[in-house]
Structure 1
Amino acid sequence: MRFFLLLAVCLALPVGSQATPRPRKPINTLAELRDSIQKVMKREHIPGLMLVLATKDSVLIAEGLGLADIDRKTPVTDQHLFRMGSITKMFTTMGILKLVSQGKLKLDDPVSKIAPEVPIQNDWASTNPVRVVNLLEHTAGFDDMPFNKVYNHEATDPQGLAAVKVFEPALRCRWRPGERFSYSNPGYVVAGYLIEKLSGQPWHQFVTEQVMRPAGMTQSNLNLRPDQTGRYVQGYKWADGSFKKVPFLPIYGGSDGSLNASATDMARWIQFFLNDWQTQTGQWLPDSVLTEMETPHSTLAANAGLKAGYGLANYTGNLNGKYPYHGHNGGIDGFISVFGYNRELGVGYALSNNGSNPLASINKMVADFLTRQAPSPTLTAQPLDKQAVEPYLGQYRAGSPRNEILGFLERQLTGVSLRMDGDSLVLSRAFGNETRLIQTGPLTFRKANDNLPSIVLTVDAAGNRVISDQGNYFRHSSWLEAWGLRLLLLISFVFVGFSILAGIVWFIFTLQRSYAAPDAWLRLLPGLGALSLIAAVFALGNLVGNLTAGPDETLPATIIFAGTLVFAGCCVAAVYLLVRRWKFLQNGWLKAYLLVTILSSCYVAGLLFANGWIGIRF
């Protein structure tokens, strides 16, 4: 079971409903907001914070709270640079949009037409080529970056096509491009290369000149490595009761996450959007292009009429708040960041912390504060169309994993079901809560507490019934396919875990009764294999939780490699001994236990082998 639990954490599987938060006292002033945020920072171990709130016409706050460097006790100022992570993708996309306005490409252009040298593997290339829009909306079907390619530990940074080829194994379409959303950083490395090829400039130079400077951002940069200005905030993570420094390591390519920004510049960025891209020197691009940026184009959900979701590096968030916001968030070791705006209300905000901590509570606090005086919106609803919904009732399995290396677990364990309860439609998660859905249009729905529809029922190109839930793709399946495989895997995990306890007991008996060597090994091998697998899972957790570790720190990778091999070897040896010793086993309960335990271990080992985990190398 520990194996299941730890990998579930790696997958971020929804395993249950969250506790209902206690009602908060309304926050009505900036002073009260600042005070509330500082209390959260202390409670959640956040050393420092960028805090920016702005309207179309004024900057309400653009400052720093807490410390930029704990050892030196340096306070965060509005000039300090935070690593903004994936918010960079908005800048890269706007660089592409600038090239579109110059007539150098179109969003619907196949990447193979613009840059045939990019090594994309696509079994659907003749009918569904990977287009530029697929890169920007994460709908190419690419894998995300592997764990050992998140940071570059070398002294130099690969540029251009060399940076793209770092991620060549990830540039394989796992399904028909334009069908499903699955977040992929390598797709944005390709987008950065397209900027370089078509502009004739390094991508960061083009984006700085054509996007950042027109927006008024003069202090921020897209550097992969820190310069000597000393304005960079130190990143931390809270572990073992204290803050640990996180090294500033470059990522590959940079067009997916290298932005370093100050509070002052993020205030200008917010107002750039709130004023529909109008600058002091004129209109940057038509505001109709901004609307296009906010609108998803290339998924099944978008084609079925859903407007909320991930557009051109611009997604719809705060769906369970009073009003939605557009924008993007970012995460890079040591930092978590959020940028959000609402053009209708003319308000926006930016946050970044240097403690690796989620910003959910502060994000909600700020978003609610900015909309506190806005009238409550009128939410759309219509009676449930039972006849139209009827064919979509039943079980669904997940089908768009972000990391393919863990995708087999997501496909096995993650799913939803759809049922009618009177005049209501109910969406239930396999190991989580259930949500009542309110119909808003032909087969589009919003969750009961949401402000926009985010769920659509549709059909894919193969005729499979599909639920798209905030970008997550679920394919219709039978109850046996969904729960049969799920329960088989869970039961197997239980027996694999139980074999450790049983192995301890058998080991004691072996010492006391002096079993013959084959009989002793037959009893002990399942537990030894399970211990090896658990060691590999703990090592995986260590590796994922410490991606900034240098390539010379090979112990976790070695344990994963050896542990999975030993687990498979123990399974094979146990099967061999069980066959050889079966007729000599007199106790029926013992035979049943060994048979079920060894078969369970072999099922897990077979699943790991089929998905490349036995002897895997990071």
Structure 2
Amino acid sequence: MNSLTRRNFLSRSVLAAAAVNTTPFWTPTARATMPMPDAGSPLDAKLDAYIARYMPAMNAPGLTLGLTSAEATLRTVGYGFADTDRKTPVTTDHLFQIGSITKSFVALVLMQMRDEGKLELQKPILAYLPWLPITEPFGVITPHHLLTHTSGLPDNQSIFSSDPAARLAQGFTPGEHFHYCNAGFDILGKLAATLDRRSWRECVTERILKPLGMHDTRPIVTTADRDRFAVGYEPFWDDEVYPRQGRLTAAPWLVMDDTAGCIASTPGDMATYTRMLLNHGKHAGGRIASEESFTLFSTPYIKADDFSPTASYGYGIAVDTLDGHKILRHTGGMVAFASSIHVDLDGGVAAFASINAMQGYRPTAVTEYAVQLLRAQQESKPLPDAADIPDPLEAENAADYAGSFSTPAGKQLSFAVQGKRLSLVAEGKTIPLQHQGGDQFISTIPGVYSKYMFAFGRKHNDAGEGEGTAPLPLVVQVAYGSDLYVNKDWDGPRVYATLPFADAFAGHYRSDSAWGGDARVYVLNGRLMLDGTPLVPLGDRLFRVSDVPWMPDTVEFHHVVDGKAQLMKSGGLDFWRVEVD
């Protein structure tokens, strides 16, 4: 979907950046007046210089940062604007929503309960929560499976549906696959509250926030603290693909107590939290979890490529390596905030950063570079230079996509290349395209070919092309929504069989939920698609949202009136048909 859920952004920081001279907010004047802190050391100066480039390139209104060693907080600072209209600078008192970094708090609370003998990690979850509306056709689910995203349950589905008969349906045998699952951590929050016999808010406050002195942190997002939050921003045109330098608007307020991502904090408090992680659960007043439980918490149980090619997942935290060091890392994505932590266990330094916008990426590059700088300083080594911020208007193989493509009905698209930049030439206009990774591009002009991505396809690889250092197969087609355009090298079918259910389910849908937004269902190459993802039939109205056979995420269509479904249920949300372009 074009909307941004709590997860569909996680590894996109590698795509992030843009040509900074086209931004609607970070004009040259705005960049020159962007609130910046005073650099107190060469390390500060190097990091600040990088962030001064990073924020305009990423179109991030504001950023908050906390750095710590294993002994003490090293720096807390704000950059940019907490409110772009009022030009209010970000301060270290502003609250930012940390999103899925909350999951590590949930895991540590449960590790405490394990230490107290209240929780067995391998015991069936239904033994603790017999009311839980789930099905287990592939095997018993335990707290261990939920903590490691290996339960087989769908990702963003609410525990409780508007349909009382609905159940979270398992898609694979627990432990077999890593499938990020926000629903699982919502369940774990309910487990913590049940075992502790008090609300999550009270539980995490008494067990983690108070012992660590995190007095500025809020265990849930409520309107009571709204005046302390930085204003959060989201894409202005939420029914279109979003280019990096797209126009932003203030997002609607969110009330959130779902423990998949409900904590809001300041950089000072997050420095305190990550310092406790650096010390394996210890803090000045004692321990948050025993050494044994912290070892369980930070053990890599299953590969987690969502975070990086080298990452695995522990309990509510990713376990990875950076420059040969063991690190704990996580990101957090909310409706209008995005966050990141890097905790270098071997180097004894950690960083937290958050931005007040949701555009599909996380400030992972900032926390990673901060940790590298801190570690170099600790080791009395030269401070490393920051990596280049890639320009998403550039693609190394842009020339692969140049040329003309057409449909059987005579529609045509032409793509021109200049250096590493690809443009669409259509309707008398030249439209710069932003590279989304792989063979995908999007329009950078609102309202002009901006409903869908351009997804290029290559010739079937039957000669080893594209393997190792061999050249990639030829580009022979490009899809834009339901239209398939092919070039002179295409030797496949031009017309596909009509799907009997296509007219009933295809269309434009919208959700009133802040997590939902816009969705488009259409037919491409004889398959039903949801915003570029294939829908595989599982029944008359039920579809799996993936070609992957074990994927548990589904959509279901309801209320067919005059041959058109009026409702699509996806991720536990209701998306209603809208008869607009």
- TM-score for both structures, normalised by structure 1: 0.57
Offset at 1:172? 1.9
In structure 1, the partner of 2:204 is: 207
Query: Cα deviation per residue 1:38-84 (whole Å; 9 max; x = unaligned)?
Result: 22112221111111111012222112111111222221111111011
Counterpart-to-counterpart distance in 1, 2:254 and 2:95 = 15
Kept after mapping to 2: 8 A contact 1:139/1:178: yes
Look at both structures and tell me which one has the larger radius of gyration over its CA atoms. Answer: 1
In structure 2, the partner of 1:89 is: 103
Query: Cα deviation per residue 1:536-562 (whole Å; 9 max; x = unaligned)?
Result: 3xx46xx59x96289xx8xx56xx5xx
1:121 equivalent to 2:147? Answer no
- Whichever residue aligns with residue 130 of structure 1, its letter is I
Instruction: Sort the Cα spacing of 1:82 and 1:14 in 2 relative to 1 into closer, same or farther, 3 A.
Output: closer
Offset at 1:102? 1.5
In structure 2, the partner of 1:312 is: 315
Instruction: Sort the Cα spacing of 1:494 and 1:432 in 2 relative to 1 into closer, same or farther, 3 A.
Output: closer
1:50 equivalent to 2:61? Answer no
Counterpart-to-counterpart distance in 1, 2:284 and 2:210 = 11
In structure 2, the partner of 1:174 is: 171
In structure 1, the partner of 2:483 is: 497
In structure 1, the partner of 2:46 is: 32
Q: RMSD in angstroms over aligned alpha carbons?
A: 4.8
Q: By percentage of residues, which structure has more helix?
A: 1
SS at match of 1:106: coil
Query: Cα deviation per residue 1:287-330 (whole Å; 9 max; x = unaligned)?
Result: 23212111134x4999xxx995110011124x464634203210
Gaps of 5+ in 2: 19-40, 238-245, 382-436, 440-461, 463-472, 488-493, 544-554, 558-564, 569-574, 576-581
In structure 1, the partner of 2:260 is: 256
1:218 equivalent to 2:215? Answer yes
Query: Alignment length, in residue pairs?
Result: 413
Instruction: Sort the Cα spacing of 1:373 and 1:322 in 2 relative to 1 into closer, same or farther, 3 A.
Output: farther
Q: Is 347-356 or 264-273 further displaced after alignment?
A: 264-273
Which of 526, 529, 533 pairs up with 1:601? 526
Offset at 1:123? 1.3
- Whichever residue aligns with residue 175 of structure 1, its letter is F
In structure 2, the partner of 1:326 is: 328
SS at match of 1:68: strand
Gaps of 5+ in 1: 22-26, 150-161, 378-430, 434-478, 480-486, 502-522, 568-596
Kept after mapping to 1: 8 A contact 2:303/2:311: no
In structure 2, the partner of 1:548 is: 514
1:275 equivalent to 2:289? Answer no
1:235 equivalent to 2:246? Answer no
Counterpart-to-counterpart distance in 1, 2:370 and 2:484 = 47
- Whichever residue aligns with residue 349 of structure 2, its letter is V
Counterpart-to-counterpart distance in 1, 2:287 and 2:482 = 63
Instruction: Sort the Cα spacing of 1:194 and 1:123 in 2 relative to 1 into closer, same or farther, 3 A.
Output: same
Query: Cα deviation per residue 1:16-59 (whole Å; 9 max; x = unaligned)?
Result: x97999xxxxx952122112212211222111111111101222
Q: Is 196-205 or 605-614 further displaced after alignment?
A: 605-614
SS at match of 2:180: coil
Instruction: Sort the Cα spacing of 1:360 and 1:285 in 2 relative to 1 into closer, same or farther, 3 A.
Output: closer
Counterpart-to-counterpart distance in 2, 1:141 and 1:209 = 32
Counterpart-to-counterpart distance in 1, 2:231 and 2:15 = 32
Q: Is 208-217 or 242-251 further displaced after alignment?
A: 242-251
Instruction: Sort the Cα spacing of 1:166 and 1:219 in 2 relative to 1 into closer, same or farther, 3 A.
Output: farther
Q: Is 57-66 or 174-183 further displaced after alignment?
A: 57-66
In structure 2, the partner of 1:99 is: 113
Instruction: Sort the Cα spacing of 1:322 and 1:367 in 2 relative to 1 into closer, same or farther, 3 A.
Output: farther
SS at match of 2:76: strand
SS at match of 1:276: coil
Offset at 1:109? 1.1
1:341 equivalent to 2:343? Answer yes
SS at match of 2:169: coil
Instruction: Sort the Cα spacing of 1:166 and 1:88 in 2 relative to 1 into closer, same or farther, 3 A.
Output: farther
SS at match of 1:187: helix
Kept after mapping to 1: 8 A contact 2:65/2:76: yes
Kept after mapping to 1: 8 A contact 2:209/2:215: yes
1:365 equivalent to 2:369? Answer yes
Offset at 1:498? 4.7
Counterpart-to-counterpart distance in 2, 1:604 and 1:349 = 40
